[in-house]
Amino acid sequence: MRIHPGKDDLEELTAAWTGERFGSGRPRVPDDVLATLKLATTEEAWGHLFQAGYVRQFAGGWRETHPGTVIVGRAVTAQFLPHRPDYDAVVVAAGAREGHLEGDRQNSWVIETLESGDVMVVDIFGKVVEGTVVGDNLGTAVASRTGVGAVIDGGIRDLQGLQKLPGEVNIFHRDVDPTPIRGVTLAGINIPIRIGGATVLPGDVILGTPTGVAVIPAHLAAEVAATSEDTRIRDVFGKQRLSERRYTSAQIDVPTWADDIEADFQQWRKENA
């Protein structure tokens, strides 16, 4: 058994991605794509993914440590299962072979793998009581390593401390409880997991907004970024032309503009590039 899949396993799991990868084999979506996606809305991302046939890429119903702070980053996934002694012994032995100390809590094993621009995404089956993946200490470690945050389908603790984390950090979670994490065993790191109704693969781009969490497959991230940017530019043009009364709302508020309006837009875009 392995806690971390091998490089070949990760490349096979994410074979649709043909770009740069981390040494582990996890897809590395470029920073400029992440920067563009941070300006995207959930609806813009969802719309492109839906049209591409990815119809289960959103999970809602979250609490946030920093409400309103949008996060974008590359997923490092982890899954926890209800504790079972014989299985836990196997995991501890596998962790030791991979360099994890037996005395360390298994949630810290996940945090040790994080890099700048990552989002820690944890499936702990919605467990809140004794399912608190981070408190203010481990949350500080997540923030300092990633500069982004986490998505935890379970609980957190020390909310008051977590709310003091500096920078544009946000931790999406289901609820808060004062108990420490226990009664669970780590199933793996950078494996396929489920968050709400969405499947998350390592290297997927996580877009967390006040609406919820969109999961963007790595190989579609650049397309989603470009589509969302085009939509934003069209919105600026449309509102300007409406304020100038050059077109009616019926002409602008349609899926596809008439040829003359599209030509006007393309010329406006060149002039305002």
pLDDT tens for residues 167-212? 899 999 999 999 999 999 999 999 999 999 999 999 999 999 999 9
**Whole-model pTM?**
0.92
Q: Which amino acid is at 127?
A: K
Asked whether residue 138 is marked as a ligand-binding residue, the answer is: yes
Residue 17: band (very low, low, confident or very high) from pLDDT cuts 50, 70, 90: very high
135 is in an annotated binding site: yes
Cα separation, 59 vs 132, in Å, equals: 19
> Is the alpha carbon torsion for 62, 162, 225, 192 positive or negative?
negative
Sign of the four-CA dihedral 225, 142, 209, 10: positive
pLDDT at 160 over 80: yes
At position 206, the amino acid (one-letter code) is I
Binning pLDDT at 50, 70 and 90, where does residue 229 land? confident
Task: Supply φ then ψ for residue 130, to 5 degrees.
Answer: 60, 25
Residue 137 assigned to a binding site: yes
Interhelix angle 42-51/221-243, rounded to 10 degrees, is 120
For the domain made up of 7-30+53-216, the CATH class stated in words is alpha beta
Question: Rg of the chain over CA atoms, in angstroms?
Answer: 21
Beta bridge partners of 268: none
Does 157 appear as a known binding residue?
yes
Q: Is 1 in contact with 94 (CB distance < 8 Å)?
A: yes
- The predicted pLDDT at position 188 comes to 98
Please check the confidence at residue 103 and state whether its pLDDT lies above 80: no
